[in-house]
Structure 1
Amino acid sequence: MDAKTKGPVAAEIEKRLIEALQPLRLEVVDDSEKHRGHAGHDSRGESHFSVLVVSQAFEGKSRVARQRMVNAALADLLAERVHALAMVTKAPSEI
Protein backbone atom coordinates (compact mmCIF):
# COMPACT_ATOMS: atom_id res chain seq x y z
CA MET A 1 0.00 0.00 0.00
CA ASP A 2 1.59 3.27 -1.02
CA ALA A 3 1.02 6.71 0.45
CA LYS A 4 -1.68 7.49 -2.13
CA THR A 5 -3.85 4.50 -1.21
CA LYS A 6 -3.09 4.29 2.50
CA GLY A 7 -6.13 4.97 4.65
CA PRO A 8 -6.09 7.39 7.57
CA VAL A 9 -5.78 4.68 10.24
CA ALA A 10 -2.87 2.99 8.44
CA ALA A 11 -1.19 6.37 8.01
CA GLU A 12 -1.64 7.12 11.71
CA ILE A 13 -0.18 3.73 12.69
CA GLU A 14 2.82 4.41 10.46
CA LYS A 15 3.31 7.92 11.85
CA ARG A 16 3.16 6.80 15.46
CA LEU A 17 5.53 3.86 14.98
CA ILE A 18 8.03 6.09 13.19
CA GLU A 19 7.89 8.62 16.03
CA ALA A 20 8.13 6.03 18.81
CA LEU A 21 10.61 3.55 17.34
CA GLN A 22 12.52 5.26 14.49
CA PRO A 23 12.36 2.02 12.49
CA LEU A 24 14.90 1.07 9.87
CA ARG A 25 12.09 -0.78 8.12
CA LEU A 26 8.35 -0.45 8.58
CA GLU A 27 5.53 -2.13 6.73
CA VAL A 28 1.89 -1.49 7.62
CA VAL A 29 -0.61 -3.72 5.82
CA ASP A 30 -4.38 -3.31 6.05
CA ASP A 31 -5.75 -6.87 6.28
CA SER A 32 -9.34 -5.81 6.89
CA GLU A 33 -10.81 -7.23 3.67
CA LYS A 34 -9.58 -10.70 4.67
CA HIS A 35 -11.84 -10.45 7.72
CA ARG A 36 -15.05 -9.22 6.10
CA GLY A 37 -17.97 -10.91 7.84
CA HIS A 38 -15.88 -12.02 10.82
CA ALA A 39 -16.17 -10.79 14.39
CA GLY A 40 -14.54 -7.42 14.82
CA HIS A 41 -14.81 -6.42 11.16
CA ASP A 42 -15.68 -2.76 10.91
CA SER A 43 -17.72 -1.64 7.89
CA ARG A 44 -15.56 1.51 7.76
CA GLY A 45 -12.57 -0.73 7.00
CA GLU A 46 -9.13 -0.39 8.54
CA SER A 47 -9.88 -2.67 11.48
CA HIS A 48 -7.25 -5.42 11.01
CA PHE A 49 -3.56 -4.77 10.39
CA SER A 50 -0.21 -6.50 10.14
CA VAL A 51 3.00 -4.64 10.83
CA LEU A 52 6.65 -5.44 10.36
CA VAL A 53 8.95 -3.23 12.42
CA VAL A 54 12.74 -3.39 12.40
CA SER A 55 14.16 -1.04 15.00
CA GLN A 56 17.35 -0.54 16.98
CA ALA A 57 15.04 0.07 19.96
CA PHE A 58 14.30 -3.67 19.98
CA GLU A 59 17.94 -4.73 20.45
CA GLY A 60 18.25 -6.87 23.58
CA LYS A 61 14.48 -6.84 24.22
CA SER A 62 12.24 -9.90 24.46
CA ARG A 63 9.44 -10.49 21.97
CA VAL A 64 6.91 -9.51 24.64
CA ALA A 65 8.77 -6.29 25.50
CA ARG A 66 8.89 -5.36 21.82
CA GLN A 67 5.18 -5.98 21.38
CA ARG A 68 4.49 -3.86 24.46
CA MET A 69 6.46 -1.01 22.87
CA VAL A 70 4.34 -1.22 19.71
CA ASN A 71 1.13 -1.51 21.75
CA ALA A 72 2.09 1.55 23.83
CA ALA A 73 2.60 3.65 20.69
CA LEU A 74 -0.83 2.61 19.38
CA ALA A 75 -2.76 2.23 22.65
CA ASP A 76 -5.78 4.44 21.94
CA LEU A 77 -6.11 3.18 18.36
CA LEU A 78 -6.11 -0.40 19.63
CA ALA A 79 -8.71 0.45 22.25
CA GLU A 80 -11.03 2.43 20.00
CA ARG A 81 -10.51 1.67 16.31
CA VAL A 82 -8.24 -1.28 15.51
CA HIS A 83 -9.66 -4.71 16.26
CA ALA A 84 -6.58 -6.81 15.49
CA LEU A 85 -2.87 -6.16 15.04
CA ALA A 86 -0.45 -8.88 14.00
CA MET A 87 3.15 -7.87 14.40
CA VAL A 88 6.63 -8.99 13.56
CA THR A 89 9.25 -7.10 15.54
CA LYS A 90 12.95 -7.46 14.79
CA ALA A 91 16.19 -5.86 15.84
CA PRO A 92 18.61 -4.98 13.03
CA SER A 93 20.94 -7.78 14.16
CA GLU A 94 18.18 -10.29 13.41
CA ILE A 95 17.75 -9.49 9.74
Structure 2
Amino acid sequence: MSVQARIEEKLSTLEPVRMTVENESHMHHVPPDSETHFKVTLVSERFAGLMPVKRHQLIYSLLADELAGPVHALALHLYTPQQWSARGEARPDSPNCRGGGRR
Protein backbone atom coordinates (compact mmCIF):
# COMPACT_ATOMS: atom_id res chain seq x y z
CA MET A 1 0.00 0.00 0.00
CA SER A 2 1.35 3.43 -0.88
CA VAL A 3 2.14 6.01 1.79
CA GLN A 4 -0.62 8.22 0.42
CA ALA A 5 -3.15 5.38 0.63
CA ARG A 6 -2.15 4.65 4.25
CA ILE A 7 -2.57 8.34 5.13
CA GLU A 8 -6.00 8.44 3.49
CA GLU A 9 -7.08 5.25 5.26
CA LYS A 10 -6.02 6.50 8.69
CA LEU A 11 -7.56 9.95 8.23
CA SER A 12 -10.85 8.44 7.10
CA THR A 13 -11.42 7.44 10.75
CA LEU A 14 -12.19 11.13 11.36
CA GLU A 15 -15.27 10.77 9.17
CA PRO A 16 -14.35 13.68 6.90
CA VAL A 17 -16.92 15.64 4.98
CA ARG A 18 -14.07 16.43 2.58
CA MET A 19 -10.54 15.07 2.43
CA THR A 20 -7.77 15.67 -0.04
CA VAL A 21 -4.32 14.17 0.41
CA GLU A 22 -1.91 15.56 -2.16
CA ASN A 23 1.55 14.17 -2.78
CA GLU A 24 3.67 17.28 -3.33
CA SER A 25 6.98 15.45 -3.38
CA HIS A 26 7.48 16.28 -7.05
CA MET A 27 7.75 19.97 -6.03
CA HIS A 28 10.84 19.22 -3.92
CA HIS A 29 14.37 18.03 -4.44
CA VAL A 30 13.67 14.31 -4.06
CA PRO A 31 13.91 11.30 -6.39
CA PRO A 32 11.05 10.71 -8.87
CA ASP A 33 7.99 8.91 -7.47
CA SER A 34 8.86 9.83 -3.87
CA GLU A 35 6.21 9.96 -1.17
CA THR A 36 7.83 12.34 1.28
CA HIS A 37 5.90 15.63 1.12
CA PHE A 38 2.12 15.78 1.53
CA LYS A 39 -0.59 18.39 1.87
CA VAL A 40 -3.76 17.38 3.69
CA THR A 41 -7.00 19.33 3.52
CA LEU A 42 -9.52 17.77 5.85
CA VAL A 43 -12.99 18.94 6.86
CA SER A 44 -14.58 17.16 9.80
CA GLU A 45 -17.06 17.77 12.60
CA ARG A 46 -14.46 16.10 14.84
CA PHE A 47 -12.54 19.40 14.80
CA ALA A 48 -15.41 21.33 16.40
CA GLY A 49 -14.27 22.81 19.69
CA LEU A 50 -10.60 22.00 19.07
CA MET A 51 -8.00 24.74 18.76
CA PRO A 52 -5.67 24.40 15.75
CA VAL A 53 -2.83 22.93 17.79
CA LYS A 54 -5.13 20.18 19.13
CA ARG A 55 -6.30 19.41 15.59
CA HIS A 56 -2.69 19.05 14.47
CA GLN A 57 -1.86 16.85 17.45
CA LEU A 58 -4.78 14.60 16.56
CA ILE A 59 -3.47 14.17 13.02
CA TYR A 60 0.11 13.64 14.23
CA SER A 61 -1.06 10.86 16.54
CA LEU A 62 -2.95 9.13 13.71
CA LEU A 63 0.03 9.38 11.35
CA ALA A 64 2.81 8.70 13.87
CA ASP A 65 4.25 5.78 11.87
CA GLU A 66 4.34 7.73 8.61
CA LEU A 67 5.88 10.79 10.28
CA ALA A 68 8.54 8.62 11.93
CA GLY A 69 9.44 7.09 8.59
CA PRO A 70 8.82 8.09 5.01
CA VAL A 71 7.00 11.42 5.45
CA HIS A 72 9.38 14.37 5.68
CA ALA A 73 6.83 17.20 5.45
CA LEU A 74 3.11 17.39 6.15
CA ALA A 75 1.10 20.55 5.49
CA LEU A 76 -2.21 20.46 7.35
CA HIS A 77 -5.31 22.49 6.52
CA LEU A 78 -7.96 21.37 9.00
CA TYR A 79 -11.48 22.81 9.18
CA THR A 80 -14.91 22.25 10.60
CA PRO A 81 -17.64 22.18 7.93
CA GLN A 82 -18.70 25.68 8.98
CA GLN A 83 -15.13 27.03 8.63
CA TRP A 84 -14.74 25.33 5.27
CA SER A 85 -17.97 26.84 4.01
CA ALA A 86 -16.99 30.30 5.29
CA ARG A 87 -13.73 30.21 3.33
CA GLY A 88 -15.61 29.41 0.13
CA GLU A 89 -14.45 25.78 0.13
CA ALA A 90 -11.04 26.78 -1.17
CA ARG A 91 -7.87 25.17 0.06
CA PRO A 92 -4.70 27.22 0.37
CA ASP A 93 -2.07 26.88 -2.33
CA SER A 94 1.33 25.54 -1.38
CA PRO A 95 4.32 27.85 -1.58
CA ASN A 96 7.08 27.08 -4.06
CA CYS A 97 9.91 25.00 -2.67
CA ARG A 98 13.25 26.78 -2.74
CA GLY A 99 15.07 23.61 -3.76
CA GLY A 100 12.37 22.06 -5.92
CA GLY A 101 13.78 23.17 -9.25
CA ARG A 102 17.24 21.67 -8.74
CA ARG A 103 17.54 18.28 -10.39
TM-score (norm 1): 0.82
If you compute each CA radius of gyration, which structure gives the higher value, 1 or 2?
2
Q: Which residue of 1 aligns with 2:73?
A: 84
TM-score (norm 2): 0.76
Does residue 35 of structure 2 align to residue 46 of structure 1?
A: yes
Does residue 50 of structure 2 align to residue 61 of structure 1?
A: yes
User: Over aligned residues, Cα RMSD in angstroms?
Assistant: 1.5
Structure 1 residue 88, shift from structure 2 partner: 0.1
Query: Alignment partner for residue 23 of structure 1, among 13, 16, 21?
Result: 16
Distance between the aligned counterparts of 1:60 and 1:42, measured in 2? 40
Unaligned runs of 5+ in 1: 1-6
Q: Secondary structure at the match of 1:93?
A: helix
Does residue 60 of structure 2 align to residue 71 of structure 1?
A: yes
Unaligned runs of 5+ in 2: 85-103
Distance between the aligned counterparts of 1:44 and 1:10, measured in 2? 12
Report the identity percentage: 38
Distance between the aligned counterparts of 1:43 and 1:11, measured in 2? 18
Structure 1 residue 57, shift from structure 2 partner: 0.5
Distance between the aligned counterparts of 1:77 and 1:64, measured in 2? 19
Q: Is the 8 A contact 2:26 2:33 kept in 1?
A: no
Give the length in aligned residue pairs. 84
